[in-house]
Amino acid sequence: MKGEIIAVGTELLLGQIVNTDASFLAAELAGLGISVYYQTAVGDNRQRIKEVFRLALERSELIVFSGGLGPTEDDLTKETVAETLGLSMVLHEEWAEHLRSIYLLRGTPMPANNLKQAYIPETALLLPNENGTAPGIYLEKEGKTVVLLPGPLEELKPMFRDKAVPLLRKKTAAKAIVSRVLKLAGISEALAAEKLAAHFEGANPTVAPLVGSFEVHLRITARGNTRKEAEELIAVKEREIREVVGSYIYGQDSDTFAGVIGSALLARGKTLVVAESCTGGRLADLITNTPGSSCYFLGGYTVYSEELKNKALGVEKKILAGYGAVSAETAAAMAKNAREKAGADYALAVTGLAGPDGGSPEKPVGLVYIGMAGGGFVKAQKFYFRGNREKIKGRAAFEALNMLWQELKSV
Contacts to a second copy from residues 79-108, by CB under 8 A: 102, 105-106
In 3D space, the residue among 171, 172, 159, 147 whose CA is nearest the CA of residue 227 turns out to be 172
Least Cα distance to 251 among 369, 389, 409, 385 occurs for 409
Element (H, E) at 181: strand 176-184
In angstroms, the first-to-last Cα distance of the chain is 49
Find all residues with CB under 8 Å of 399, minimum gap 6, and list them.
214, 368, 370, 383
The answer to the question of residue 131 lying near a second copy (CB under 8 A) is yes
386 binds a second copy (CB under 8 A): yes
CA pair distance 256, 242, nearest whole angstrom: 18
> How far, in Å, CA of 196 to CA of 243, rounded?
10
Question: Among residues 45 and 172, whose Cβ is nearest to a second copy?
Answer: 45
Of 94, 97, 122, 154, the residue at the interface with a second copy (CB under 8 A) is 154
- Judged by beta carbon, residue 280 or residue 374, the one nearer a second copy is 280
Tell me which residues in 241-280 interact with a second copy (CB under 8 A). Answer: 273-274, 276, 279-280
328 is a contact residue toward a second copy (CB under 8 A):
no
Helix (H, G, I), strand (E, B) or coil at 111: coil
Binding a second copy (rule: CB under 8 A), the pick from 57, 64, 220, 287 is: 287
The minimum distance between CB 191 and a second copy, in angstroms, equals 5
Question: Which backbone phi and psi does 86 adopt, to 5 degrees?
Answer: 70, 35
Judged by CB under 8 A, the residue of 126, 381, 389, 407 near a second copy is 389
- Who's near 110: CB < 8 A, 6+ residues apart? 99, 100, 102, 103
Closer CB to a second copy, 139 or 290, in the complex: 290
If you write DSSP's letter for every residue of 127-163 in order, what string do you get?
E--TTSS--EEEEEETTEEEEEE-SSHHHHHHHIIII
State which of positions 14-33 bind a second copy (CB under 8 A).
14-20, 22-30
Instruction: Output the smallest distance, CB 347 to a second copy, in A.
Output: 12
Least distance CB 200 / a second copy (angstroms): 6
Determine the interface stretch with a second copy among 138-146, 236-244, 289-297, 368-376 (rule: CB under 8 A).
289-297
**Residues 6+ positions from 374 with CB-CB distance below 8 Å:** 339, 345, 346, 347, 407
| Minimal distance, residue 18 CB to a second copy, in Å | 4
Identity of the residue, 93 or 357, whose beta carbon is nearer to a second copy in the bound complex: 357
Q: Is 323 in the site for a second copy (CB under 8 A)?
A: no
Phi, psi of 403 (to 5 degrees): -65, -40
- Of the residues 172, 252, 302, 381, which one makes contact with a second copy according to CB under 8 A: 302
CA–centroid distance for 296 within its chain:
26
Site for a second copy in 198-237 (CB under 8 A): 200, 208-211, 219, 221
* Nearer Cβ to a second copy (88/204): 204
Which one of 8, 32, 33, 40 is in contact with a second copy (CB under 8 A)? 40
**Cβ proximity to a second copy, 132 vs 324, nearer residue:** 132
CB of 218 closer than 8 Å to CB of 196: yes
Cis peptide before 71 (omega within 30 of 0): no
Closer to a second copy by CB, 112 or 411: give it: 112
Three-point CA angle 354, 360, 362, nearest 5° = 105
- Pick the binder of a second copy from 130, 142, 243, 362 (CB under 8 A): 130
Element (DSSP H or E) covering residue 261 = helix 257-268
Site string for a second copy, 338-377 (x = CB under 8 A): ---xxx----------xxxxx-------------------
**Residue of 202, 299, 324, 359 interacting with a second copy (CB under 8 A):** 299
The residue count for binding a second copy (CB under 8 A) is 116
**Binding window for a second copy (CB under 8 A); candidates: 4-12, 223-231, 240-248, 261-269:** 4-12
CB-based contacts of 16, cutoff 8 Å, min separation 6: none
Give min distance, CB of 323 to a second copy, in A: 18
Residues of this chain, 164-193, that bind a second copy according to CB under 8 A: 179, 181, 188-191, 193
Q: Which is nearer to a second copy, 79 or 189 (CB)?
A: 189
Contacts of 340 (CB under 8 A, 6+ apart): none
Torsion of CA 48, 52, 54, 57, to 10 degrees: -160
Binding residues among 48-77 for a second copy as defined by CB under 8 A: 48, 52, 55, 70-74
